[in-house]
Amino acid sequence: MAVARTSLLSSPLLSSSLKPTFKLVLVLYFNMFIVTNVFLFYRGLLVTFVVAHNTLENTLCKPYNCGACAASLEAAAVHHGCYGFFTHRCLIDDTQVLLRRLLVLALWKRPWKEAQPLFLPNSNDSRSLDVAANMYGLPQLSRLPVDLLKIIHGHSAGALFWRSISVLRATVCISNMGDESQQSEVVALRHVVSWKRGGKLDKSDSQTPLIIRLTIDSDGISRVERLVDYPRYWRKNYRYTAHIVGSGKDVEGVQVELVNGLLRLKLLPNGWVPHIWNTPVPPPLSRCNLSPNKPSATWPRLFYLESESMRGITFFYTLGRLCDIHIHYQEQTSARSTHRRMKRAAQSNAIWLYLPIPPGDQLTVVGLRQQPGLPFCYLFQLKKSGDVIIGPHGNSFFKDSCLGAGTSLGFIYGEPNRADFMPQQVELIGAYCRPESQPTPEWWSPHVFPLDRYEAPLDRFGANFLSQDSFLQAEYFSWAPLDDVVSALVFRDQITGCCKGILFFYRNGGCRAIGECRLHVDPAQTVPEPSQLCYQMESHPAKYSPDLSVYRARVTVQPSSQHERVHLQHTHGKIVDEGWVVHTEWKCYLMHSI
């Protein structure tokens, strides 16, 4: 599947001062690495349309030595298949008009020129869904419940069917665009009183102090409001929109550019870069306790969530670096969608660390552990599930600090920049305590989490196979008490059947994860009322160094009535895979005795 990229040299829709001096050229890129990292597509072909003059010529260029691409002011990418479907459905004969409108529609999806993609889900469009379903011979699909449609979409998000719905919406928007001779309208943001997509600007020259709020959806900025005061907080999740809230001082020098009913911001070169939040009522950043890193000046995408709205958090680590975060909401249990959006280098080495937040439980402490020579660890305390450490361990010297504590605690994190050549990394984690939160004094003192030291087992050479000077650049430890467990969910490797992680559910309503728990990704077995846990360690000489060993574990969790029969199988079991040997014979424990 090819990828199309529309880029601009000159267009009267965007700047009345530019004069067309270049021809329209077709450029083909064949470098998958460039496409994947810059435009976040997984295909190796890129088609570029450079909009300028009234002729169309097809030619080839080298991706690293193209004058037309270098002279392009802006660019937007679309799938080649989507572009073909779009031109077939959109009844506009003039190719130049069609390309210009498509380009404006694509560029104005971003809130400002340099903004990275927000990856907001498309809002439900029943009309386009009906058309697409009938077109593909699937009329029953449009009659399914919304929740079931979301599940189907989650397993087939890249299919042409779903992209065709976006194309159908785009054809309607482009067909309704106005006169091509209309110039863009540029106005200072502080003069905007209100605006909605497709409408006209309501302007005022009033200098009264103000709060400006912008609402963003998958099609770009959809609404601008002027508020008399900072918005008051209310509890609600916003999955389909993002929001910018700024004061009159913040927006000084910022302009809005309106073209064909679409609006985006024009920022000063070295001026204010707005924070984009997932809520229309974000907490004042000055009142948030954040990790030492500050919000990025180039990509300040921030999320604020309460524990009541989350069912868990998956932290993606690569070589000790926190490279992404996925929030599990009530209706969304898999972190696969976030993993798909990560840079390929981070994807291939990612470790999934899961923090469950079961119904009825809540975050009461968010903390930070600083270790010399190692990235941060993040400390969490939950009312029912207890203390949890997320991140690399292995240093005996550390300093813990509390970012937030209380009964009304919010979790904050910054989205990583997924669209440049720098290593992907989450730069900011923090907490916000609402005024009604009442922390007890001991929560604000240095908190002693239980896993501050560890003794790793020895390998076949008597060496500590999880030592700091080993090949491994990061070690992730997790622990869980085995008493009062009402059920366990055991995750296994698809090929070997070895244990990858376990979720323990407790009688008090708490839940803890050990290992790598990839919900709805790896095969998992539920064991009700477990009373026995048995494990066997296997080892294999490491390919990168014969002096080091690679380890894996086989784990069984079963009720006590099955333990004697399973234990006999342990003593006579054979190693399935050639080259692996038993490092530690089966050991069995009563779950209430550890």
pLDDT digits (tens, 9 = 90+) for 85-115: 888 888 888 888 888 888 888 889 999 988 8
Residues 6+ apart with CB under 8 A from 473: 319, 320
* Residue that has been written with the tokens 């055991």 in this structure: 490
Q: How many CA atoms lie within 13 A of 585 on its CB side?
A: 6
For residue 520, which amino acid is it?
A: H
Burial class (CB in 10 A: 0-12, 13-18, 19+), 321: buried
Total-model pTM: 0.79
Q: What is the pLDDT of residue 514?
A: 92
Question: Which positions of the chain have pLDDT values less than 50?
Answer: 1-64, 440-447, 451-472, 572, 593-594
- Nearest CA among 518, 521, 424, 413 for reference residue 154: 521
pLDDT of residue 69: 55
> pLDDT at position 153, please?
82
Helix (H, G, I), strand (E, B) or coil at 162: helix
> What is the pLDDT at residue 444?
44
Distance, CA of 330 to CA of 327 (rounded, Å) = 10
What pLDDT is attached to residue 472?
47
In the chain, what are the domains?
3-107 (no CATH), 185-287 (no CATH), 288-452+462-474 (2.100.10), 480-594 (no CATH)
Residue 435: its pLDDT value, please?
Answer: 66
- The CA distance from 190 to 255, in Å, is 8
- Could you give the residue ranges of the DSSP H alpha helices within 445-572? 563-572
Please name the residues in contact with 225: beta carbons below 8 A apart, sequence gap of 6 or more.
194, 212, 213, 214, 215
